């Protein structure tokens, strides 16, 4: 590689890169030069510049913009100097020169722009004169210069300086001494690098870091907030800050926490801020932030009329304020508010920093809220499990029992250990067959919920324990199946009670059957001796009637009459017991055909009483046709029998569709029934009249009831006493598959 030839102007350019702040190593690498070489160039360059100041020769008339004293014609080094001057002039960073006496010699355009000062007004002035409004800045520069004069070389230091728009900038000041022809230090060249951005980024990071730590160390929002507000205010020089959030009880936003510098007037202002609640709106400070969700900046509190607390704030010596929302996504949870004692113009960076903190606080509030809700829900769950006699269980994806609450062992006395980690069907349950388990397992594999699944399990201290479990599948956020969870309950007692009940029921059924049998046998067998009583009494009367006196004959009439009645009663009783024992299988029958037959049977009574019987078209029903006939005959027979004195009976057999069943009615215009007897009349031998008034034994409606019971229907009566009665009975409809 050919070695590049360096002319003085190119060398000057390289040195200026270094003066701009570029690191030495980077420059050497870029231009492929050695550090020693670079350093010697820099030394030469600075020495030449210095020499030009120190030269007693006055410059030519041509005026240099950078250094009025620096324009010379002639040799090679003056050419290098000219290039250097031009470069310095157009450099985008502020550069200045200062003589050994501390007076400024010149500066470039960037310097003018940075400070907003004409360079003419600055040449010949010292730092103390230039920074008379900021003595601490002057002192710092002064000290650095003194140090350089004592130990020539380079120095760099950070400093905050006020610039033309009044804002404070962070700067990195870089200074290097140069020597005059006599070899003594003649002055210095300085550059200013603005590091405000970097400083602010560091500052913001430091604040966010502090806030993060405060939030992570605190249990509550209230506990963390004073520290968070202090972190912001202290780092950035603001006087006080507050947090606002929704107070559900007060129904508005309230100032919850505050921090301020130690100042009784500001403390009084903050105390007053705590007193009222506000609604989101379009004016004011906090109200507007809550209403719009956007930050609000007030430069002069005293001039902002819509700011309700403005006067108090101004009285406390506060001047500027800004507030920003505490957000969680789109939701505005509250606001942060800060006050400064001096006038502060809206500052993008400050707002961004505040918004970042607002977001941190927002997530923290949301997290605390979620934690609170979780705690509440866990407490509820704990109470539920503690107070319930049921236990709670969980199963993994493989249906293996992974958790069983302690209530299980308390209730059942069974050691849960052998069940944990196993599937339900890994342990025997005498009540369940292989097929039962298979069905249950298939249900779980389909991830369906299940209810009241009953299992009999071996128990150490009893014969067995009956368990009933219900469960539901659990899915994670990705809808992936994660297992089952559910509850279980000990149903041993219920099972035992059911057993007892079943035994009692069986016993009842058996004794009922016996009774039925007895009633049948008794009524059947009683008929014979009764017939004998009847016929022998009649024989007695026929043969010996003449020999008996009037009383004896009358007594014998009573015997005959009694025997006849008893015969009727026994026959009725027999008919009643036949309903249960001699019933036929239920099958579809045409109710219409049954009614037609009944009306033929009743023709005599109908004609005799002058009754009219009408009816709706009757449907097909599932019934024992003989018993249905018996039922209709009893009801229509009664309607004729219990007719009124003045009117011929009018009887209507109706039917209505009542959903799953047919509702039949038999209505008459007879004597009616008083409501208190509506139920009694359906019992065996219950009648409301003497035999002289209306004949009968009181068994007809009892038979009707028994028939209807057998047909899974209901029977009842409605009546207006003296006007007529309406008997209702229902029969289930024929289901499709039965037809
Ligand atoms: P019985 O007709 O033999 O008296 P039932 O069991 O058929 O016996 O009727 C019981 C009682 O219900 C009757 O004695 C009568 O008082 C009353 N009853 C039944 N049907 C009617 C009706 N259609 N109108 C008025 N009362 C009735």
Choose which residue among 644, 681, 691, 728 to substitute to test ligand 1 binding: the one with the highest number of ligand atoms within 8 A of its C-beta.
Answer: 681
Q: Does 688 sit in the ligand 1 pocket, CB within 6 Å?
A: yes
- Token pair listed for 624: 């024992």
Mean pLDDT of 722-728: 95
242 Rama class: left (phi>0) / alpha (psi -120 to 50) / beta: beta
Q: How far is the C-alpha of 295 from the C-alpha of 575, rounded, in Å? A: 96
Q: Does 671 sit in the ligand 1 pocket, CB within 6 Å?
A: yes
Distance between Cα 692 and ligand 1 center (Å): 14
Between these two residues, 285 and 521, which has the higher pLDDT value?
Answer: 285
Q: How far is the C-alpha of 724 from the C-alpha of 642, rounded, in Å? A: 9
What is the reported pLDDT for 12?
80
Q: Does 633 sit in the ligand 1 pocket, CB within 6 Å?
A: no
- Residues 560-588: pLDDT tens digits? 888 888 888 888 888 888 887 778 889 99
Closest to 216 in 3D by CA, of 224, 205, 206: 224
**At how many degrees (to 10) do helices 8-19 and 24-31 cross?**
150
Count the alpha carbons within 13 Å of 232 in the hemisphere toward its beta carbon. Answer: 34
- Residues 478-506: pLDDT tens digits? 999 999 999 999 999 999 999 999 999 99
Long-range contacts of 198-207 (CB under 8 A, 24+ apart): 198/170, 199/170, 200/170, 200/349, 203/235, 203/236, 203/353, 204/349, 204/352, 204/353, 204/356, 206/235, 207/231, 207/232, 207/235, 207/236, 207/353, 207/357
Mean pLDDT of 395-408: 93
Closest residue CA from atom 4 of ligand 1: 698
Give me the helices (H) in 218-309, please.
221-236, 264-273, 286-292
Q: Does 669 sit in the ligand 1 pocket, CB within 6 Å?
A: no
What is the reported pLDDT for 572?
85
Using the predicted structure, report yes or no on whether residue 590 has a pLDDT greater than 90: yes
Mean pLDDT of 267-289: 91
Using the predicted structure, report yes or no on whether residue 56 has a pLDDT greater than 50: no
Distance between Cα 564 and ligand 1 center (Å): 21
Give the least confident one: 90-104, 214-228, 323-337: 90-104
Distance between Cα 588 and ligand 1 center (Å): 29
Strands 401-404 and 450-458: unpaired
CB atoms within 10 A of CB 25: 10
Distance between Cα 681 and ligand 1 center (Å): 7
What is the reported pLDDT for 263?
94
Choose which residue among 673, 706, 716 to substitute to test ligand 1 binding: the one with the highest number of ligand atoms within 8 A of its C-beta.
Answer: 673
Within its chain, how far is the Cα of 224 from the centroid? 26
What is the reported pLDDT for 80?
62
Q: How far is the C-alpha of 237 from the C-alpha of 260, rounded, in Å? A: 11
- Residues 102-143: pLDDT tens digits? 898 888 888 888 888 888 888 888 989 888 888 889 999 999
Place of tokens 């389909």: 446
Using the predicted structure, report yes or no on whether residue 43 has a pLDDT greater than 90: no
Mean pLDDT of 441-458: 95
Q: Does 173 sit in the ligand 1 pocket, CB within 6 Å?
A: no
What is the reported pLDDT for 74?
46
Q: How far is the C-alpha of 366 from the C-alpha of 245, rounded, in Å? A: 12
Give the least confident one: 176-180, 533-537, 634-638: 176-180
- Residue 736: pLDDT band with limits 50, 70, 90: low
Q: How far is the C-alpha of 211 from the C-alpha of 336, rounded, in Å? A: 14
Long-range contacts of 262-267 (CB under 8 A, 24+ apart): 263/239, 263/316, 263/317, 265/315, 265/316, 265/317, 266/239, 266/240, 266/316, 266/317, 266/318, 266/339
**Phi, psi (rounded to 5 degrees) for 185:** -60, 125
Using the predicted structure, report yes or no on whether residue 44 has a pLDDT greater than 80: no
Between these two residues, 66 and 496, which has the higher pLDDT value?
Answer: 496
What is the reported pLDDT for 57?
38
Closest residue CA from atom 7 of ligand 1: 700
What is the reported pLDDT for 462?
65
Using the predicted structure, report yes or no on whether residue 620 has a pLDDT greater than 60: yes
H or E segment and range at residue 588: strand 587-590
Q: Does 637 sit in the ligand 1 pocket, CB within 6 Å?
A: no
What is the reported pLDDT for 67?
57
What is the reported pLDDT for 20?
67
Mean pLDDT of 70-96: 67
Choose which residue among 687, 690, 693, 726 to substitute to test ligand 1 binding: the one with the highest number of ligand atoms within 8 A of its C-beta.
Answer: 687
Say if residues 362 and 354 touch (Cβ distance below 8 Å): no
Using the predicted structure, report yes or no on whether residue 401 has a pLDDT greater than 90: yes
Say if residues 633 and 641 touch (Cβ distance below 8 Å): no
R_g (Cα) of the chain, nearest Å: 56
What is the reported pLDDT for 62?
44
- Residue 41: pLDDT band with limits 50, 70, 90: confident
Distance between Cα 691 and ligand 1 center (Å): 12
Using the predicted structure, report yes or no on whether residue 60 has a pLDDT greater than 70: no
Give me the helices (H) in 20-130, please.
24-31, 35-54, 76-90, 109-115, 127-130
What is the reported pLDDT for 663?
97
- Residue 267: pLDDT band with limits 50, 70, 90: very high
Between these two residues, 191 and 667, which has the higher pLDDT value?
Answer: 667
Mean pLDDT, the chain, integer: 87
Using the predicted structure, report yes or no on whether residue 53 has a pLDDT greater than 60: no
Closest residue CA from atom 25 of ligand 1: 672
pTM: 0.49
Give ∠ CA 456-458-462 in degrees, rounded to 5. Answer: 105
pLDDT > 90: percent of the chain: 46
């Amino acid at each position: 590689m050919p070695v590049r030839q360096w002319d003085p102007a190119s060398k000057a350019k390289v040195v200026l890169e270094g003066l701009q702040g570029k690191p030495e190593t980077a420059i050497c690498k870029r231009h492929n030069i050695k550090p020693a070489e670079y350093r010697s160039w820099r030394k030469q360059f600075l020495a030449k510049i210095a020499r030009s100041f120190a030269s007693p020769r006055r410059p030519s008339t041509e005026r240099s913009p950078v250094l009025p004293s620096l324009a010379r014609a002639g040799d090679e080094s003056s050419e290098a100097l000219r290039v250097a001057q031009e470069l310095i002039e157009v450099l985008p960073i502020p550069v200045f020169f200062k003589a050994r006496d501390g007076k400024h010699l010149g500066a470039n355009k960037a310097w003018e722009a940075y400070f907003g000062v004409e360079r003419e007004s600055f040449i010949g002035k010292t730092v103390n004169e230039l920074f008379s409004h900021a003595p601490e800045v002057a002192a710092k520069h002064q000290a650095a210069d003194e140090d350089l004069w004592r130990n020539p070389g380079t120095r760099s230091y950070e400093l905050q300086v006020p610039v033309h728009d009044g804002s404070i900038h962070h700067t990195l000041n870089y200074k290097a001494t140069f020597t005059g022809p006599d070899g003594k230090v003649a002055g210095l060249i300085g550059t200013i690098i603005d590091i405000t951005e970097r400083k602010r980024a560091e500052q913001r990071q430091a604040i966010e870091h502090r806030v993060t730590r405060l939030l992570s160390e605190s249990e509550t929002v209230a506990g963390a907030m004073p520290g968070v507000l202090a972190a912001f205010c202290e780092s950035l020089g603001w006087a006080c800050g507050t947090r606002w959030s929704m107070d559900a009880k007060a129904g508005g936003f309230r100032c919850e926490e505050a921090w301020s510098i130690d100042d009784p007037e500001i403390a009084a202002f903050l105390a007053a801020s705590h007193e009222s609640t506000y609604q989101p709106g379009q004016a004011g400070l906090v109200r507007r932030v809550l209403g719009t969700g956007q930050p609000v900046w007030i430069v002069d509190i005293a001039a902002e009329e819509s700011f309700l607390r403005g006067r108090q704030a101004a009285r406390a010596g506060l001047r500027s304020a800004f507030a920003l929302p505490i957000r969680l996504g789109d939701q505005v949870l509250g606001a942060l508010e800060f006050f400064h004692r001096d006038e502060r113009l809206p500052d993008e960076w400050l707002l961004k920093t505040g918004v970042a903190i607002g977001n941190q606080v927002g997530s923290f509030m949301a997290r605390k809220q979620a934690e609170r809700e979780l705690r509440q829900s866990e407490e509820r769950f704990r109470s539920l499990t503690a107070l319930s006699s049921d236990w709670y269980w969980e199963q993994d994806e493989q249906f293996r029992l992974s958790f069983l609450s302690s209530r299980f062992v308390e209730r059942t006395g069974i050691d849960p250990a052998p069940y944990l980690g196993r599937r339900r069907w890994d342990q025997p349950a005498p009540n369940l067959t292989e097929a039962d388990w298979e069905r249950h397992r298939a249900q779980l594999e389909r991830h369906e919920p299940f209810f009241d699944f009953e299992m009999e399990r071996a128990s150490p201290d009893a014969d067995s324990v009956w368990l009933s479990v219900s469960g539901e599948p659990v899915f994670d956020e990705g809808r992936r199946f994660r297992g089952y969870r559910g509850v279980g309950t000990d149903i041993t007692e219920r099972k035992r009670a059911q057993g007892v009940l079943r035994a009692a029921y069986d016993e009842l059924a058996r004794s009922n059957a016996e009774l039925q049998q007895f009633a049948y046998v008794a009524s059947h067998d009683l008929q014979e001796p009764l017939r004998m009583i009847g016929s022998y009494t009649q024989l007695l009367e026929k043969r010996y009637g003449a020999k008996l006196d009037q009383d004896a004959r009358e007594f014998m009439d009573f015997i005959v009459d009694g025997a006849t009645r008893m015969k009727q009663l026994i026959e009725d009783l027999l008919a009643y017991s036949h309903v249960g024992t001699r019933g036929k299988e239920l099958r579809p029958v045409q109710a219409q055909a049954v009614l037609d037959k009944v009306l033929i049977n009743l023709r005599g009574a109908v004609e005799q009483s002058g009754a009219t019987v009408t009816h709706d078209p009757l449907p097909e029903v599932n019934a024992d046709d003989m018993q249905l006939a018996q039922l209709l005959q009893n009801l229509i027979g009664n309607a004729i029998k219990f007719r009124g004195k003045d009117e011929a009976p009018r009887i209507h057999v109706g039917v209505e569709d009542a959903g799953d069943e047919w509702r039949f009615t038999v209505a008459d215009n007879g004597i009616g029934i008083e409501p208190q007897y509506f139920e009694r009349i359906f019992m065996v031998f219950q009648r409301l009249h003497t035999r002289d008034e209306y004949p009968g034994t009181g068994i007809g409606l009892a038979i009707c009831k028994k028939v209807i019971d057998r047909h899974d229907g209901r029977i009842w009566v409605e009546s207006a006493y003296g006007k007529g009665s309406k008997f209702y009975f229902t029969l289930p409809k024929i289901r499709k598959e039965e037809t």
